[in-house]
Amino acid sequence: MKKTAYLLAILALFTGSGFGQLIFEKSEYTARREKLMDQIPDGIAIFRGAPIPAGDTQFYQFNNLMYFTGMEIPDVILLIDGRSRTSTVFFTITENGARGEGISIDLVNDPGKFNGIEKVLPYVEFSSFLTANAGAGCVIYTPFNSEELQGEVSAEKTRSLKNSITKDEWDTRLTRELQFVKLLGEKFPGLEIKDCSSKISDLRKIKSKAEIQVIREVGRIGRQAHLAFIQATGVGVKEWDLANLFEFTCKKEGAQGLAYNTIIMSAENIPYGHYHRYNRILQEGDFVVLDAGPNYQYYDVDFSTSFPANGKFSTKQKELYNLANAIREVCVKSYKPDITFGQVGANVKKYLIDNGYNPDEPRFKGLITYGGYNHSIGMAVHDGMGTFLGPKEVLQVGFVFACDINMMYPDIQIGIRLEDTVVITDEGCEVLSAGLPRTVEEMEKAMKHRK
């Protein structure tokens, strides 16, 4: 009965469940656009959706377009007018093209019925509409940072493209977003064009109840996949097979893909925090770090588990693991509204002193400064403008982030990474990775049931 009620609660979120398109109710999308309108009373914001893939691959929408409209349709332009407080979408797609992409004809014909968009026009009318509406004194807002697809992070993608393309003397092209900014400036030389990347980041940072409900489901999928991986791990097992098992389990449980490339670190690869070559066969004595999460309905979680390949902790592995898990527990018990990560770090420092550790050891520095290595999570695994959150960050209800306890010992080839996705609630916090084995005893018990 409880499982049935839970599934019904999930289904109730999907107004488009009969049409297979929208994730949330119309009021959710309308509220998001209205919050942006409140911040741009002097102008209009423009978002360009993802183009249709060049190859024969599945189309996915950019996260920002999905956030404001829920429309998984190629080549959409969204214009949000803060002056008239109305929104317009521009796109052109044939019925045959829509059906070929699995796009709801009902959504194509009347998006506003599902997401509250007031006006729909053909793609070719965007330029003339913009010219007619961007009068004197109008400010044009658009993201200068790169838009995200599944498994991408805007700030990191922006830096990567600038370094590999714009700064390459044999290329020098701008990113897609900055090329659009350049063209807007040429077409409207008298108007101010502003970056709204930080505004969108701030809006996406605090999750609604409906978003948190979806992220809970992502957490359930992530737990299932981590457990399947743990129970399949053993001496002689290929990392390649384990990576494929993780992805298979995620998709079997309903995920559309991965939040990022599954990270598997072991033996000599322990120091490399994003290792995903999967080129080892696990050996006796190996300690494994799995850092992986699914992407479901355009939302992510970020979990990490660490355990011995043979299913039994050695004395040294147990010692280091227990320390890391104790720090994790201090952090999780500290998280609540209005506390800062710096204050959480002070609690970590107190725990270390009370238990006879020297808090000035280099291995504790970041954990004390930041209260764990934390980053925002949502539609991207590193949501927002940067990767890590600073010690002055004040936790708020609805904030979703990673608590990442990361302690690597490459000289002895042991790596401990215990990462939870955490939601701040009125009472404190909810740990979406709860149910994963965390103590030594829980992990050894889980690995006794290896498949």
CB count within 10 Å of CB 1 equals: 5
The contacts of residue 435 (CB under 8 Å, 6+ apart) are: 223
pLDDT tens-digit series, residues 226-282: 999 999 999 999 999 999 999 999 999 999 999 999 999 999 999 999 999 999 999
Check: CB of residue 222 under 8 Å from CB of residue 170: no
Tokens of 169: 């003397």
Q: How far apart are CA 393 and CA 284, in angstroms?
A: 42
Percent pLDDT > 70 in the chain is 94
Check: CB of residue 123 under 8 Å from CB of residue 77: yes
pLDDT in the model for residue 102? 87
| Record: fold of 2-205 | Creatine Amidinohydrolase; Chain A, domain 1 (3.40.350)
Q: How far apart are CA 81 and CA 36, in angstroms?
A: 9
**With 60 as the cut, is the pLDDT of residue 20 above it?**
no
pLDDT tens-digit series, residues 73-109: 999 999 999 999 999 999 999 999 899 888 889 999 9
Q: How far apart are CA 16 and CA 8, in angstroms?
A: 14
pLDDT tens-digit series, residues 160-215: 999 999 999 999 999 999 999 999 999 999 999 999 999 999 999 999 999 999 99
Q: How confident is the model at residue 6 (pLDDT cuts 50, 70, 90)?
A: very low
Q: Where are the domains of the chain?
A: 2-205, 209-448
pLDDT tens-digit series, residues 293-324: 999 999 999 999 999 999 999 999 999 999 99
pLDDT in the model for residue 200? 97
Backbone angles phi, psi at 175, to 5 degrees: -65, 165
pLDDT in the model for residue 234? 97
pLDDT in the model for residue 17? 37
pLDDT tens-digit series, residues 353-371: 999 999 999 999 999 999 9
pLDDT in the model for residue 451? 59
**Is the CATH number of domain 209-448 3.90.230.10?**
yes
Q: How confident is the model at residue 386 (pLDDT cuts 50, 70, 90)?
A: low
Check: CB of residue 245 under 8 Å from CB of residue 232: yes
pLDDT in the model for residue 21? 56
Check: CB of residue 287 under 8 Å from CB of residue 248: no
Q: Report which residue type is found at 15.
A: T
**With 60 as the cut, is the pLDDT of residue 14 above it?**
no
Over residues 387-409, mean pLDDT: 94
pLDDT in the model for residue 11? 41
- Tokens 């996705």 locate to 421
Of 386, 385, 361, 387, the C-alpha closest to 373 is 387
Q: How confident is the model at residue 56 (pLDDT cuts 50, 70, 90)?
A: confident
**With 80 as the cut, is the pLDDT of residue 4 above it?**
no
Over residues 420-443, mean pLDDT: 98
Q: How far apart are CA 105 and CA 94, in angstroms?
A: 9
pLDDT tens-digit series, residues 330-348: 999 999 999 999 999 999 9
Are the folds of 2-205 and 209-448 the same?
A: no
Over residues 119-142, mean pLDDT: 96
Q: How far apart are CA 437 and CA 131, in angstroms?
A: 58
Q: How far apart are CA 304 and CA 393, in angstroms?
A: 23
pLDDT in the model for residue 97? 87
